[in-house]
Structure 1
């Protein structure tokens, strides 16, 4: 068995512990990854245009419209026209959306505090450095894979409610 297999087995055996505590049960995790990223993006910016959202989640406008439609229908975001340019659609979190994102952030913060509380300052810096190195490597390799696959025709399947 190689290092990757050992890490994968360790990760699978232990990650389940993160998803069973009572805190996670309280949080409604019925959202797709696009819906979660949409709400997190809106939370960070306070309001976004559809064009900004499309750029952030890297999907066609029709897909973003479907995502926003579901979030509006479920009461997590509101959609309105810009006061300065009626052609621009602006999306904001509703009170329910803000509460969900705050609860999610609080739960994640709680776990991060648990992780960091027994680490020294040097270990924290090392952990942060490794995390950034991992994310940069993944992003670089994903960009390379996307660029080599550009010549191939890709059909994306999107689940629609």
Structure 2
């Protein structure tokens, strides 16, 4: 089920919109905010660069997202004690509660899927879903290259003291 969860969160699918009880959560946050909260909850604390890589978004976009989450009181954004240029993000108590509610709601959805399929069907479903998402991601990169652009790729730059 963890694979299914990651598939939904990392690829921007909206599983919460399939459940009536999730309407309140969907009114409180958009899917970028949801993905950020769940990613931070999973990793506990991340640098802004790590969060951007996890979400597959440019650092500038994630910085704006993090600032919005700070304004809403869901995330703390502090400078690293080791390197003042680096910002670390972690959930506040309220952000943690929202992430738990979202995760619980998504787990209910996945339990319904799991109950409807045999173990073999579930494995086939996961394999096919992952294969489809990889094909769609590959298609995006190909179109970018065909249009004369380079496929964007995040990379880490080692900075020595």
Indicate the SS of the match to 2:64: helix
1:113 corresponding residue in structure 2: 111
Q: Identify unmatched segments of 5+ residues in structure 2.
A: 1-14, 151-161
- Structure number with bigger Rg: 1
CA distance in 1, matches of 2:31, 2:143: 21
Q: Secondary structure at the match of 1:27?
A: helix
| Aligned with 2:124 (options 117, 122, 126) | 126
TM-score, length-scaled by structure 1:
0.72
* Residues 54, 116 of structure 1: alpha-carbon distance in 2 compared, 3 angstrom cutoff: closer
2:55: which partner in 1? Answer: 57
Q: Secondary structure at the match of 2:33?
A: helix
Structure 2 match to 1:158: none
How many residues are treated as equivalent by the alignment?
Answer: 135
Q: Which of 125, 140, 144 is the matching residue for 1:142?
A: 140
Q: Over aligned residues, Cα RMSD in angstroms?
A: 2.3
Query: 1:91-145: CA deviations, max 9, x gaps?
Result: 1111111111111111111011112113222111111121111111111111111
Q: Which has the higher contact order (CA 8 A, sep 6+)?
A: 2
Gaps of 5+ in 1: 1-14, 153-161
Aligned with residue 31 of structure 1, among 26, 29, 32: 29
